[in-house]
Amino acid sequence: MTAPEPTTDLAALPKVLLHDHLDGGLRPGTVLELADAAGYELPASDEAALRDWFVQGATSGSLERYLETFRHTVAVMQTADALRRVAREAVLDLAADGVVHAEQRYAPELHLAGGLEPQQVVDAVRAGLEEGVAEVAAAGGRIGVTQVLTTMRPSEHSTTIARLALANRDAGVVALDLAGPEAGHPAARHAAAFRTVRYASFPTTVHAGEGAGVTSIAEAVHLAGALRIGHGVRLIDDVQLGARTETDPWGTDGARLGHLAHWVRDQQIPLEVCPTSNVQTGASSSIAEHPITPLARLGFAVTVNTDNRLMSGTSMTQEYAQLVEHAGWGLEELRDVALTAGWSAFLPHDQREALVEDVLRPAYTPRASGRHRA
Ligand SMILES: [Zn+2]
């Protein structure tokens, strides 16, 4: 592996973020202000304490405590103004993190408690994203942002959300996502929703292989027709790694892939991997031992993502830095995931090509020595 040059500014590298939840990326100060305006009580009353509370909740190992963090963010996102503000700020924060293209996902059905209709939720988020993109452009930056509509595994409304996504396909909604607890909530329950979007030639991504194993991934790919997998890290259970040696620290040279792992790799189905989040939820023991490294070495189409920037106290730059520091990644590995993410964005092919060839590849290609004379 080539270590990044010491001067490599990870924050400045252009990045593509495919897996980031709108209700998991709020600024702590915004949560406080929105809660105040709504008369909603939070577990902490100043920014630093609230930030810590969110990260601790996500790291506690208790599912109850983890879900509680989202109860609070979702609770303050029940008006059009609040959704618009959160969406706008997300775009500004991502641009400041070097993100040049992002998909923002959220579940419209969780934002109806204040009386909004699902379409109004989508409209409010779109307005906020557009404002953010315009502000970034006005300041001389560049970012593109699209929406992914999430439906929840325990939900009864997946077909409604699928239709909502299709109704907004020309207004920035690019895919349907399935999220929520995998165990006990198989994707098969939502077969009608997946059929609805698939027959309309519209993409699906499914959270799978995070809380449950290989069967859940198989279901996402083969039953839901997922074009990408959210997380997918348990795919490593279908890979028999060889002996670790000094020159082959992961035993990938002698690895044997099961049928599903073969399929996912051979079809280059992108994995939206979220390293810090996976360590927090126990899907992986550490960044150093995270399956993303052997999966990348084996040629899987892996991408690096943030999942929930607030709960994980992370950013794309931070995810990159963690992989460099703890998993021995260099500029080459970072370039591979960035280009894969660019090619895997739910965008028309010509736009992906422009993103990859004009924006990403040049930034990750070290300048040939001598080309720039002092
Ligand atoms: Zn997620």
* Cα 179 to averaged position of ligand 1 atoms, centre (Å): 7
Per residue in 125-160, pLDDT tens? 999 999 999 999 999 999 999 999 999 999 999 999
Per residue in 183-231, pLDDT tens? 888 899 999 999 999 999 999 999 998 777 899 999 999 999 999 999 9
Identity of residue 133: V
Per residue in 179-195, pLDDT tens? 988 888 889 999 999 99
Residue 98 pLDDT > 70: yes
* Cα 106 to averaged position of ligand 1 atoms, centre (Å): 9
- The residues that bridge with 208 in the sheet, in sequence order, are 231
Share of the chain above pLDDT 90, in %: 86
Model confidence, pTM: 0.95
* Cα 233 to averaged position of ligand 1 atoms, centre (Å): 12
User: Which pLDDT does position 112 carry in this prediction?
Assistant: 98
Q: Bin 98: left if φ > 0, else alpha if -120 < ψ < 50, else beta.
A: left
Q: Bin 196: left if φ > 0, else alpha if -120 < ψ < 50, else beta.
A: alpha
Taking the C-alpha atoms of residue 23 and residue 87, their distance in angstroms, rounded to an integer, is 9
Per residue in 253-269, pLDDT tens? 999 999 999 999 999 99
Residue 8 pLDDT > 90: no
What is the band of 372 on the pLDDT scale with cuts at 50, 70, 90? very low
Residues annotated as catalytic (active site), given as ranges:
210
* Cα 150 to averaged position of ligand 1 atoms, centre (Å): 10
* Cα 212 to averaged position of ligand 1 atoms, centre (Å): 14
What is the DSSP pairing of strand 256-257 with strand 239-240? antiparallel
What is the band of 371 on the pLDDT scale with cuts at 50, 70, 90? very low
Q: Which of 54-68, 167-181, 265-279, 297-311 has the lowest mean pLDDT?
A: 54-68
Residue 368 pLDDT > 70: no
- Residues 29-63: b if buried by 16+ CB within 10 A, e if exposed: ebbbebbeeeeeebebeeeeebbebbbebbbeeee
Which residues have a Cβ under 8 Å from the Cβ of 105 and sit 6 or more positions away?
Answer: 19, 20, 21, 22, 147, 148, 149, 150, 177, 179
**Is 283 in contact with 227 (CB distance < 8 Å)?**
no
